[in-house]
Structure formats: structure tokens, C-alpha cells
A and B are shown apart, each in its own frame.
Chain A
């Protein structure tokens, strides 16, 4: 028994417990994630930024197995780099999402990671794509990770089309805060990334600055 508790972390895969969310607004997208990475019952990184850049204006949110998600993001980052040089302009969000989807589908059995791809491009503005188990679907907003189950009701009730960038950011922060409160595998700080035609803005909301709800 003693041996088991000592080397448990070795056999258990490092997972990003996670809550991730991406929301589209008129003119861009807002992505948000928590920052907890766990291996079994122990937290191995409490400040991991799960919003990984695929290109200047395209980001992806990682969830599931940390190794699988990081590797997919890095491979797609490289492939997108090559693609954007080939077409000699900024890639479309749909292209990035397709590259992620191709890897997720081909290695469906071996990988256990879910990436939400979101960004802004000139042709279609802000877009959010979900790539769960190899499907590709464009949605007005997407949530993922273990913490998402606790906030489906909230996002379904509170999401409205035509929100401004600030309203979207507030919506994302509220969602993350609620999910972090209820999900054991989500926690730490909240990372927010806002992408629009003018640029990309990365923000960190520290734990004590997160909005509080009922008896806190």
C-alpha cells in the first residue's frame, strides 16, 4: 500500500481536469480556461495556461490528457505555420480546426484530448469550432472539460447573441468561476484571451478576483 501511494503519480496520466470555454461575439471571440493540472489526486501545476496559440489570431483551448493535448497543439501550430507560408496569408480558423480535427479523428482510439479552436479571420470574422472525438462543428459558443458539465445550464440560460466584447468577457469569467467552484479538477486562476481584428489580448484573473456567487 505504501508503495502505491508513493509511485501512483507515475502510472497515472497527467490530466488537465479543466473547464474551457470559447464564445463568439460580433467581430471576434473570447476564450477562457482555468489553470489546474492534476495527476491522480495531486495537483502538479496550478498555473498552467491552457489557451495555446496556433497562430496570431487563432487559439485553442486544451482539455483531457495534458500530454496528448499539448502535443496536438504543437503539431497543429507547426502545420498551420507551414500552411500560412504556402498560401502567403493568415490562415482561416476553419483550416486550423480542420487540422486539429484530422488528428483527433485519425488517432481517436489512442488519444484522449479535446481541443476547442477559436479565432478571427478576415473572411468569416470570429468563429468557434468544437472538435470533440473528431467531429467539426461551428458553434456560437463551446464549453469543454470536466467542469463544463456543471455549467451547461448556466451557459444555455445566459448566452445571448450580439453581446459586446466586454459582456462576453464577463460571461466567460462568470462561467469559469461557477465551474471552478463546483468541479474538483478545475481551479487556480482564470486565463482569458480576446481575439478581434485589431489584435489579441491575454488576461489573467487571479483566484481572489474571480466573481463570487451566493454564500461566499
Chain B
């Protein structure tokens, strides 16, 4: 660390009230100058700079980071949000999948379940969205958190996994998908709000993983995620048994999601199931319509003939065509 401060040239022009816009250019120039300075090692501590040091005594100027991601904009966004809240405005909320998602390993494979409600703040944005995403023919992934993040993350990994499978010439493994997802999410340090339940069957049998936005993963026989995860986990902890039959497992998952739907505001509508076994794949959408829209018993519309017609008179309007113009409309 001591080596750096000796080669560091303080930016007094930034100190003297220059506009923030120029800071980025100044930083780039500073970086170039720093690189040039490092080559000639003696000029750093020459008398010319001593005067600047005395002005700089109380201020510590930040050095720009070398390599890696810069999360500057995230900090800026947080500040902007704070300022907006002070004035009374709120920034537009990202559409989230409130969600209850879960997965269970049974005798022959895995079953993934999800509800179908997508919320935008306190409003339901989509009553029937699909939260079980395709990764590969034998691997599916449920997503909770920010809807866009889960969609795009699963699509990116699905595409990479297909290329990987073509390159290896083998059916992709669930552990591979898990590694790819966790490495990507860790790289983004939690700013991609995607919490995933990844399940599938490969040459080593059925596997189930839960993946958190910061990049940690757990390999377990049953997992739940989302705002309704606690309700669903309660059902699992009570009734899970190892090596269940398919019908029992489907009923268990259905009940777990139903618990999430009825006890959590962020989850609702229908229950989707995905049963993955070695030989077959069942994408059941919807498996259960937990919340059917009611049928109206009464009708306020008046039937034709309620009002009787007393008289009828027809008046003809004699019109002449004066001008005719045709406007084409592009309906492609």
C-alpha cells in the first residue's frame, strides 16, 4: 500500500469545484498519467508536487478500482431513490414474482411446483404467469424474485448449457447448470434478484438445488423459495418422506404451493407442476386452479323486448359523394 501513495498524484483540479460530469474523463486521464508516471519512477516525489500535498492534507481522494465490475450506478440509484422519497415520489417498482416455488425429490425423479401470480408493488400484474422455466429437456428451473432477472438468467444459462451439451456430446447434468447459475449470480454480487429452485434428472439420478441471489447454493431433498416459502416449508417438514411415490409427491407439492397461495399475499392464482423423471417429462399447467373466478348468478342487462316499440318511422337522407380519398394503412 505504501508503494501506491508514493506514485499517486493528487487531483487538485477536481478539488477546485469543477463539475462532476468531467470526473470520469479526468479519472481516465489520471489513469493514463499514472501508467506513464510509473515508468519514470523519480518524478513522483519531486519538489513540484510538494505544494499540492499541503493543500491536500485533509482530503482523501478515491482511487478508481482496477478491473472487475463497478457498482457505482447501484450506489447512485440508491441515492436517487432516497432523494425521490424525500420529495414524495417513488421510483417505478420492478415487477416481482411474489411467489411460492418449491421442489421435492421422490423415488423416480423430481417434482417442481410454482404458483402463477406476478406482482408490481401491491397490484397483481399477471394472474397466470409461468414461473417454471426450461433449461434443458431434463432440467427445469423455478424462479422467484425480480421477474425479468429470473427470465433472462434462466434463458442465458439454458442457451449456454445447450452449447456445452453439444460440445461434450452428453446429456447435461444438473450440477453443471447449478455451477453456471451460481457463478453468474456471484459475479453480480446479489444485484440480479433471482432466487431459483433448480431440478432435474441426469445420469447420476435426480437432483434438486436451491440458488440464492448472492450465489450460494444448497443441495437438498426438498426446498422452497419465495415470499410464501415459510408456509410451503411447513407443509414439507410435516409430510415429507424419502422415496415417495409420484402421486403422493404431486399431492405434497400441490399442498405446499396451496399453503403459500392462501397464506401469503404475494402468491396466488393457480398451481403449476413439472414432473421430471428419467423417461418422461410432464409440464402440467395448470395442475390445480386453486382460485377459480366465480360465476355471476344475476344479470343487470335488459333482455331484448323489455321495452315495447310503439311507432317506427324511417327518414331517408339523400347524400352525394363529393370527394373520395384512400389512405393506405401498414398492417404488416
Contacts and interface: CB of A to CB of B under 8 A. Distances in A.
Given A6-B264, A10-B213, A13-B190, A45 B227 contact: no
B220 interface: yes
Interface in A20-55: 37, 39, 42, 44-45, 47-48
Contacts of A47: 220
Contacts of A39: 212
Interface residues of A, number: 23
Interface stretch (A66-74, A128-136, A182-190): A66-74
Contact of A10 (B122, B145, B218, B265): B145
A7 interface: yes
A65 B266 CA distance: 27
A14 B230 contact: no
B128 interface: no
A65 B214 contact: yes
Contact of A14 (B96, B216, B264): B216
Contacts of B153: none
Interface residues of B, number: 28
B190 A6 contact: no
Given A37-B218, A44-B218, A6 B212 contact: no
Contacts of A9: 195, 227, 229
B227 A70 contact: no
Given A6-B98, A44-B210, A71-B186, A66 B122 contact: no
Contact of B215 (A2, A42, A70): A70
A208 interface: no
Interface of B: 96, 98, 121-122, 145, 182-183, 185-186, 189-190, 193, 195, 210, 212-218, 220, 227, 229-230, 264-266
Interchain residue pairs A-B with the least CB separation, the first 3: A66-B216, A6-B227, A67-B214
